[in-house]
């Protein structure tokens, strides 16, 4: 399953949810949390359930519930009353127990769904490794805006105030073998800025990036899809590996060892997933 682009749509806006599902996003998230005013939560739950009831989409469909201790249980009870999403996103994940609680709520409704855990608080960052290692967690997502608010940091375009947390999240995800999804780029009209930030995220090791507008999806997908030159290099490396017993060998004048072989395997796998 590829998760290059993770596009959010407000759960109380059926037309926007359907539009998101028609985009080229790998994952669409019907949002019951931040995108919905408190007074509209129940209407949003019912709207999400109705959209799921007749939705036809090839992408992964996820529902972001509210945090544990607020109304996650009510969200799950209502939404899972009909056709089920492919995954559930848990905001404000601060400990492995939060994930286990959601997993238990799903199990009570005979639903085995992967949980995408949002790391967006100081406690969540410090426990990112245990959250990622929890059986139900299938991805870690890094939320910089909420983290900055939690620690009292001032958000800057450089992002140095959240760099440690951003790197810790991707390392925790990699160690656990789950996907790592990068922060939202909030200026959805600035495609050059989005492209630059997404390139940085890919360089850090992230597998994908969150989006708040369909126009951001092509830029994100492109950044997380290997280009032709990289694919051809990776295929030459793997072909040479298969034809030798040596631990180190040469391709295109470059000495290839285990780390570069792993990089080549990653490139080929990313290209396969992106089709």
In degrees, rounded to 5, the angle at the alpha carbon of residue 65 between the alpha carbons of residues 64 and 70 is 150
**Both tokens of residue 136?**
């139900």
Give me the pLDDT at residue 229, please.
87
Whether 260 and 180 share a structural domain: no
Q: State how many domains the chain has.
A: 2
Its domain, for residue 238, covers 228-274
Give me the pLDDT at residue 56, please.
84
Task: Please say whether the beta carbons of 122 and 147 come within 8 A.
Answer: yes
Give me the pLDDT at residue 81, please.
82
Give me the pLDDT at residue 266, please.
86
In degrees, rounded to 5, the angle at the alpha carbon of residue 158 between the alpha carbons of residues 147 and 127 is 30
Give me the pLDDT at residue 263, please.
87
Whether 44 and 117 share a structural domain: yes
CA-closest candidate to residue 32, choices 16, 44, 24, 15? 44
3-state secondary structure of 8: strand
Q: Quick one: CA dihedral 58, 64, 65, 68, positive or negative?
A: positive
Give me the pLDDT at residue 270, please.
83
pTM of the shown model: 0.90
**Both tokens of residue 19?**
């539009």
CA-closest candidate to residue 209, choices 2, 7, 5, 1? 5
Torsion of CA 208, 66, 17, 195, to 10 degrees: -30
CA-closest candidate to residue 93, choices 64, 121, 113? 121
- Over residues 56-70, the pLDDT tens digits come to 888 999 999 999 989
Whether 47 and 164 share a structural domain: yes
Whether 189 and 247 share a structural domain: no
CA dist., res. 275 & res. 266, Å (int): 14
**Which residues are the active-site residues?**
257
Backbone phi, psi, residue 60, to 5° = -75, 130
Name every residue whose Cβ is closer than 8 Å to that of residue 1 and which is 6 or more positions away in sequence: 60, 273
Whether 51 and 141 share a structural domain: yes
Whether 172 and 92 share a structural domain: yes
Whether 180 and 123 share a structural domain: yes
Whether 144 and 270 share a structural domain: no
Regions in the chain scoring below 70 on pLDDT:
none
Whether 78 and 43 share a structural domain: yes
- Over residues 243-260, the pLDDT tens digits come to 888 889 999 989 998 889
Give me the pLDDT at residue 32, please.
96
CA dist., res. 228 & res. 225, Å (int): 9
Whether 189 and 258 share a structural domain: no
CATH number at residue 158: 3.20.20.60
Give me the pLDDT at residue 73, please.
94
Give me the pLDDT at residue 271, please.
85
CA-closest candidate to residue 90, choices 81, 102, 100? 102
3-state secondary structure of 20: helix
Name every residue whose Cβ is closer than 8 Å to that of residue 171 and which is 6 or more positions away in sequence: 205
Give me the pLDDT at residue 246, please.
86
Give me the pLDDT at residue 108, please.
94
């Amino acid at each position: 399953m590829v998760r290059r682009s993770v596009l959010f749509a407000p759960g109380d806006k059926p037309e926007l949810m359907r539009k998101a599902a028609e985009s080229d996003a790998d994952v669409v998230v019907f949002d019951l949390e931040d995108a919905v005013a408190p007074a509209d939560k129940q209407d949003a739950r019912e709207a999400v359930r109705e959209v799921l009831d007749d939705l036809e989409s090839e992408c992964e469909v996820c529902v972001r519930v509210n945090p544990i201790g607020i109304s996650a249980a009510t969200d799950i009870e209502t939404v899972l009353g009909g056709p089920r999403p492919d995954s559930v996103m848990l905001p404000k994940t601060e400990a492995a127990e939060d994930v286990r609680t959601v997993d238990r709520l799903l199990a009570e409704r005979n639903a085995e769904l992967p949980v995408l855990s949002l790391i967006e608080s100081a406690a969540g960052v410090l426990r990112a490794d245990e959250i990622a290692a929890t059986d139900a967690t299938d991805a870690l997502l890094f939320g910089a805006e909420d983290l900055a608010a939690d620690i009292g940091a001032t958000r800057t375009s450089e992002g140095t105030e959240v760099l440690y947390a951003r790197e810790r999240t991707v390392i925790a995800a990699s160690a656990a073998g789950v996907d790592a999804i990068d922060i939202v780029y909030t200026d959805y009209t600035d495609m050059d800025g989005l492209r630059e930030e997404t390139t940085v995220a890919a360089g850090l090791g992230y597998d994908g990036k969150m989006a708040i507008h369909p126009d951001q999806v092509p830029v994100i997908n492109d950044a997380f899809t290997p280009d032709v030159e990289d694919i051809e290099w990776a295929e030459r490396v793997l072909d040479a590996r298969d034809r030798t017993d040596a631990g180190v060998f040469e391709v295109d004048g470059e000495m290839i060892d285990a780390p570069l072989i792993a990089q080549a395997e990653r490139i080929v796998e990313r290209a396969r997933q992106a089709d």
